[in-house]
Amino acid sequence: MRQSPRGRSPFSLLSRRRRLLAGAAALSLGLLTACGGDGDDGSDGGGPTLEVWIMEGTNPDAEPYVEALEAAFGEETGALLDVQFIQWADAHDRFTTAMAGGELPDVAEIGTTWAAEFGAAGALADLSGSIDEAGLGDDLVPGLIDAATVDGSVYGMPWYAGIRSLMYRADVFAEHDLQPPTTWDELREVALRLRDLEPDMIPFPVSGGSEYGLYPFIWGAGGEIAERDGDGWRSTINSPEAVEGIEFYTSLATEDGLSVAAAETWLETDQLESFQNGQAAMVVNGNWTVNTLIQADPAWAEQVGVVPLPGQESGFSPSFVGGSLLGEFTSDEPELAWRLIEMMTTGELAAQWADQSGYFPGQQSLLEEVQGEEEPLVAPFARQMLEAGAALPVTELYGQVQGEQIVQGMLQRILSGDQSPQEAADEAAAAMDETFGG
């Protein structure tokens, strides 16, 4: 457009305008297509391609596993895999946006609590038929399969599991000749002794931001978080048993001074950090963190001890069985998708994944094998899972309760002294019921 702007005929002006128009259109189109430029890339092979999403970081070095999986799957079915790693932190948002955009993968790893949620939304396929056909139904870790089962439909196949137990500083305990607790009273006593013996340490941090540290005490006292009530759910977190558990757990901080005020807003990761930097003496944390500790400093292998969470009078307090399921997001190739899920969740590849990631396999028989090896930092967790594992209320509404952080809010109000355990539990129950009812 180097022409002088003056003195041209309407004709050239017209063509100029056209050029401008075309230019503008091309520009906008270019921008539009640049935004939406995603075609099918897997067009090189012969067979179909399955898109698979796996969470990043569970397995520190996942490449060899993925290669083995691709090879085995390709050999058996001739299909290709497009494996993508996504971050736990934004995975939930990724799934919802993919849902909105119709870009869901064929098979994906999902958190146990999402099965009910995405299942109710109609995004996940029911796998119960395939599981029965394969005869796998009886060999799945109960806490995991329970979490995936809604009204007889199974929205995910247990892949790997994790559980929290009581981790303690074995070296400190040995130095003072202390024994890890086996009942709640012993837990309080040993923590009180630690408070006197090791004044710079935090005997037992009670983290306000971690709901999973509290649940064992609710379940251990015989309480429940919520129960089925006809078609819906009703919170029972303010029942006498549940409140007894809440009271015991929080009194360790509020009455016995076994925690610190900072822990009122700690998340589980902050609690682990305080254990790792030598401040906390006992924490409720997951089996996967043992690997993290030892990887950071091999000396931890000698310093950390694990026991199942002590029961109120005897036995163990149940702990939440967390972990991952493999779900099929209504794939175009349901048979291939199931074949892949089966391959990943059973047998050699499942054991390999669990071993590499520091988690437990979701198959009961494989889990028993792990327990049989009697590894001191693994077996107590496995025992907790087999003998005292529990599931959260299986409803997509409990996902909302967690999203609202109702339990954490309750904990923080008790720990900061704003409310008594009963008051806070009543308020939490009311908030949960509002969510269940809405």
Close Cβ partners of 348 (under 8 Å, ≥ 6 residues apart): none
Q: Categorise residue 408: left if φ over 0, alpha if ψ from -120 to 50, beta otherwise.
A: alpha
Candidate residues 47, 64, 347, 403; the one interacting with other proteins per rule CB under 8 A: 403
Candidate residues 12, 15, 27, 296; the one interacting with other proteins per rule CB under 8 A: 27
Distances (CA, A) of 364 to 52, 118, 137, 142, 261: 25, 25, 10, 8, 40
CA separation for the pair 259, 201 (Å, rounded): 9
CA separation for the pair 370, 372 (Å, rounded): 5
430 is an interface residue for other proteins by CB under 8 A = no
Work out whether strand 232-235 and strand 282-286 pair parallel, antiparallel, or are unpaired: unpaired
Positions 193 through 212 that interact with other proteins (CB under 8 A): 202, 208-209
| Degrees to nearest 5, angle at CA 353 with 347 and 359 | 110
Positions 29 through 48 that interact with other proteins (CB under 8 A): 31-32, 35
Question: Which among 157, 175, 74, 191 has a CA at the least distance from the CA of 350?
Answer: 157
CA 59 to chain centre: 14
Give the residue with the Cβ less far from other proteins, 162 or 209: 209
Positions 48 through 87 that interact with other proteins (CB under 8 A): none
Give the residue with the Cβ less far from other proteins, 120 or 379: 120
Q: How far is the CB of 21 from other proteins (least distance, A)?
A: 6
CA separation for the pair 106, 330 (Å, rounded): 7
| Degrees to nearest 5, angle at CA 426 with 423 and 427 | 90
320 is an interface residue for other proteins by CB under 8 A = no
**Site stretch for other proteins (CB under 8 A), options 18-26, 49-57, 61-69, 228-236:** 18-26
Q: Which helix (H) or strand (E) holds 364?
A: helix 364-372
**Site stretch for other proteins (CB under 8 A), options 9-17, 67-75, 180-188, 240-248:** 9-17
Positions 233 through 272 that interact with other proteins (CB under 8 A): 260-262, 264-267
Cβ-contact 160, 323 below 8 angstroms? yes
Residue type, 325: L
3 state SS of 312:
coil
**Site stretch for other proteins (CB under 8 A), options 307-315, 339-347, 351-359, 411-419:** 411-419
117 is an interface residue for other proteins by CB under 8 A = yes
Candidate residues 70, 82, 404, 426; the one interacting with other proteins per rule CB under 8 A: 404
399 is an interface residue for other proteins by CB under 8 A = yes
112 is an interface residue for other proteins by CB under 8 A = no
Positions 275 through 314 that interact with other proteins (CB under 8 A): 279
Residues binding other proteins: number (CB under 8 A): 53
Q: How far is the CB of 272 from other proteins (least distance, A)?
A: 14
| Interface positions with other proteins (CB under 8 A) | 5-7, 10, 13-14, 17, 20-21, 24-25, 27-28, 31-32, 35, 92-93, 96, 99-100, 102, 117-118, 120-123, 202, 208-209, 260-262, 264-267, 274, 279, 396, 399-400, 402-405, 408-409, 412, 415-416, 435
